[in-house]
Amino acid sequence: MPTASGAMRGPDGRASAGPPVRDDAAPLGVLVSAGVVRGWRAVRWFVTSMMGDTAYATFVEHQRREHPGDPVPDERTFWRERFAEQDRTPGSRCC
Amino acid sequence: MGKDARRQSDPSARSNRRGDVQAPAAGGEAEPVVVQDPDLPPTALDEAEDTPTWTPPKVIVWVLIALLGGVAWTMLALVRGETVNAIWFVFAAVCTYLIAYRFYSKFIERKILRPDDRRATPAEYNQNGKDFVPTDRRVLYGHHFAAIAGAGPLVGPVLAAQMGYLPGTLWIIIGVILAGAVQDYLVLFFSMRRGGRSLGQMARDELGVVGGTAAIIATLAIMVIIVAILALVVVNALGESPWGVFSVSMTIPIALFMGVYLRYLRPGRITEVSIIGFVLLMFAIVAGGWVAETEWGAAAFTLDRTVIAVGIIVYGFIAAILPVWLLLAPRDYLSTFMKIGTIVMLAGAIVLVRPEITVPAFSEFAGGDAGPVVSGSLFPFLFVTIACGALSGFHALIASGTTPKLIEKERQTRFIGYGGMLMESFVAIMALVAAISIDRGIYFAMNSSAAATGGTVEGAVAFVNSLGLAGVDLAPEVLTQTAANVGEESIVSRTGGAPTLALGLAHIMQQLIGGTALMSFWYHFAIMFEALFILTAVDAGTRVARFMLQDTFGNIVPKFRDPDWRLGAWICTAVMVAAWGAILIRGVTDPLGGINTLFPLFGIANQLLAAIALAVCMAIVAKRGYFRWLWIVVVPLAFAAVVTITASMFKIFSPVPAVGYWAQNAAFRNALETGEESFGTAPTRAAMEAVVRNTTVQGVLSIVFVTLAIIVIGFAIWHTVKSIRTGGGPSSEDPAVPSRRFAPSGLVATKAEKDLEKQWADVDEDKRPARTGH
């Protein structure tokens, strides 16, 4: 596909960071399928970011930038610590 | 160790890392000057770039929005036909929200908040990759909405529908734009400027020790009453309903499975496990219908309300001491998933089905105080019956908790705080539409307490027809047929709002998908998702209350502050569960009906919390020195204070027994003293004694709430006046830190924002900021 992910997703992995790069010469079918792929990616990005699937990747990226050289826990350990922290400091949910 | 561990995570106790700040905020209008890194593109738009240009197409669009909104309001409020179409509710709400968001929230931003995108947010300067993470505004909007919206906006509007559709609609829409969304926006912004400090901490900073302590005790008491009444809604929805009991209990094994899956099988795959959980949940709803039809299923799952209440209390205790990963977190994922999905589905269905509404704009009960659903006159009780959706103090706890630590840029607080609350208000409007789309006779048969209807079809028909409602002639077959359609034994006196909403949702959805055959599925789907929210709120509320109690006890016995001391946590959990459990049991066994006497207390508690939050905001705005625009906070604060204090006074001093707790108490005590064997709706002396006990507790709670709120508001007024006299006060904001990132402020980036984003895209990768959303 000519308008593959690179153009639509920033290097930090965010979809819809800008308007899609449209290749006007491309046939309609390609444009439509590119649109579907783009829409699917955007939904997937939104849902996984909101639900928290991306939390570990975010943390690893943060450690890599801010504390390079520090050991990074594996995903299992990361989630264990995260939940242990929530046990200690409960957060509210609304009525 | 415990105290230190907590202090470490306390954002206010951190050092100023990149301190290129020249003048700290000294109060009044002085804003700190932030010098930004010259190697980076601008981190904020120039004011000139940000000033909107009124191009003709823009003017035309806003004129059209205003016209459509005006037509919709005319249809709702002025045109008196036989029916009104539900689509006008949608148009009136959405157009008003758009105008309020574009103009009023912008006005608040300019006049009293003045966000500065050159300043880093706590998510940026405190970034730790975990709870402080700059988060994409659209993701955070969803996140924040999922945290603030629960069962509240679904229940209140249903109960308030007894007064007709217009009072509720007006209050939900006008209340949110002038009060509810303002509160959420202000608290979010002020907490963000203070590193994500909690409302309690801000109250102590702004109002001193006494005012702050009163605010914290009020919060704790309010949390208890809110959890109790939410639990009462669930009990009422599940009583005598084997289908509901089965499918809602199945959420526990499903959540446990999800928890184990996430911990041992595939850590971090939250969406995946939520989809699996959702499929299992749908299966549990369908299976509930099969189980309820079998003899053993009906025998095992047809439970008395008292038994269900005890079950929820035991559950509440166990759930609150189990580790988060096992039950709370997975069920929270499930409920977030269901919440957004169902609300989008309901909005779509209302737009597609466009039901005709036959309920009058003002009903027979709008003028008096004798409504059978919730008693009390329109003023002030409409405004406490509908709390969530118009003005909800509970949001102040969310807006000063998780969300401010995730904001990427200061100016995004308007979209997330104000905009997020508008969305909750829209949920309340949809709940109202769902409730009024069902037949009025059925509505009153479902929502009048068993004390009035006797719990039987004949009793309900006789009672509803005796109310003298225009155009209502309820036939017994209607009630039995509707009950059969939704797969329930009976729908008489299913109070609490949840069953009515479920019937309304089923009524609308079946016109779109499946017809009458699927009505029972939709009904139990709605019951399930309300129960899911409420059980999450019960569990999380107990945990938060326990945490606050541990902190309070910690002042006397420091060991209570140690979060790893299990026994201490268990003791505090038991105290909190006992507190809300006692109120729940009283509500369930109340001879007067329970929800109709207790629900006003829920609204009063929630609005008092809102008054406390707004009072803190007023003190802060005054310290910042923006006296001319103080009315932006004073108007909603005055309204909330007047409403809740008046409502409390009615509850304490009204001589009408149906309204005043003490009047009711005196009436029943008198009857007991004169040796009566039954009185009012209490058939025995034991029941009469129960009424005396219940009204004493309710009366005392009313007095406690209103006293605490008056103390907090009083302190806030005192500090505000002091600020006005001295021209402002010292700011308790964290020092300004220059930002090193940029992001647009609203849902859709403007042209200027897009241009600036392009400049940032060209920055070297190692200089570009990290953010969430990989």
Report ipTM for this prediction. Answer: 0.87
Which residues in chain B touch residue A86, judged by CB atoms under 8 angstroms apart?
324, 329
> For position B770, what pLDDT does the model report?
64
> For position A19, what pLDDT does the model report?
42
Distance in angstroms (rounded) separating the CA atoms of residues B576 and B745: 41
Q: With an 8 Å Cβ cutoff, is A18 touching chain B?
A: yes
One domain, residues A43 and A59 = no
One domain, residues A59 and A72 = yes
Residues near B437 by beta carbon (within 8 Å), at least 6 away in sequence: B86, B355, B357, B504, B507, B508
> For position A25, what pLDDT does the model report?
63
| Nearest-by-CA chain B residue for A56 | B268
Closest-CA residue to B743 (of A90, A25, A18, A68) = A18
Which residues in chain B touch residue A63, judged by CB atoms under 8 angstroms apart?
129
Helices (H) and strands (E) in chain A, counts: 4, 0
A90·B540 Cβ contact <8 A: yes
| Nearest-by-CA chain B residue for A50 | B139
The angle subtended at Cα B655 by Cα B652 and Cα B656, nearest 5°, is 105
Domain annotation covers residue A95: no
Which residues in chain B touch residue A52, judged by CB atoms under 8 angstroms apart?
270, 333
Nearest-CA distance B572 → chain A (Å) = 14
One domain, residues A10 and A46 = yes
Nearest-CA distance A32 → chain B (Å) = 23
The angle subtended at Cα B769 by Cα B767 and Cα B773, nearest 5°, is 140
One domain, residues A11 and A27 = yes
* pTM listed for this prediction: 0.91
One domain, residues A45 and A23 = yes
Residue among A50, A75, A91 minimizing CB distance to B267: A75
- For residue A69, count other CB atoms closer than 10 A to its CB: 6
| Nearest-by-CA chain B residue for A10 | B761
Domain annotation covers residue A94: no
Structural domain containing residue A76: 55-88
One domain, residues A32 and A62 = no
> For position B9, what pLDDT does the model report?
39
Closest-CA residue to B231 (of B588, B521, B525) = B588
Nearest-CA distance B627 → chain A (Å) = 32
Tokens of B507: 């009524």
Sequential DSSP letters for B293-309: HSHHHHHHH---HHHHH
Rg, Å, chain B Cα set:
26
Judged by CB atoms within 8 Å, which residues 37-76 of A form the interface with B? 45-63, 65-66, 75-76
Under 8 Å between Cβ of B619 and B719: yes
> For position B31, what pLDDT does the model report?
65
One domain, residues A80 and A42 = no
> For position B173, what pLDDT does the model report?
98
One domain, residues A16 and A40 = yes
Closest-CA residue to B421 (of B700, B207, B671, B172) = B172
Domain annotation covers residue A75: yes
Query: Using a CB cutoff of 8 Å and minimum separation of 24, what contacts does B744-749 make?
Result: B744/B137, B745/B117, B745/B137, B745/B409, B745/B411, B745/B412, B745/B414, B745/B415, B746/B137, B746/B412, B746/B414, B746/B415, B747/B137, B747/B138, B747/B141, B747/B415, B747/B419
Which residues in chain B touch residue A61, judged by CB atoms under 8 angstroms apart?
129, 770, 774
> For position B574, what pLDDT does the model report?
96
| Nearest-by-CA chain A residue for B2 | A88
Nearest-CA distance B139 → chain A (Å) = 5
- Total domains in chain A come to 2
Residue among A54, A62, A65 minimizing CB distance to B773: A54
B771·A11 Cβ contact <8 A: no
Closest-CA residue to B220 (of B534, B550, B531, B532) = B550
One domain, residues A10 and A34 = yes
Residue among A10, A60, A83 minimizing CB distance to B324: A83
One domain, residues A66 and A43 = no
- For residue A83, count other CB atoms closer than 10 A to its CB: 18
Residues near B462 by beta carbon (within 8 Å), at least 6 away in sequence: none
Distance in angstroms (rounded) separating the CA atoms of residues B25 and B731: 6
| Nearest-by-CA chain A residue for B541 | A92
Ranges in chain B, pLDDT < 50: 1-29, 773-774
> For position B623, what pLDDT does the model report?
94
One domain, residues A12 and A47 = yes
One domain, residues A37 and A63 = no
| Nearest-by-CA chain B residue for A13 | B774
Q: Cα dist. B525→B151, B283, B288 in Å? A: 14, 11, 11
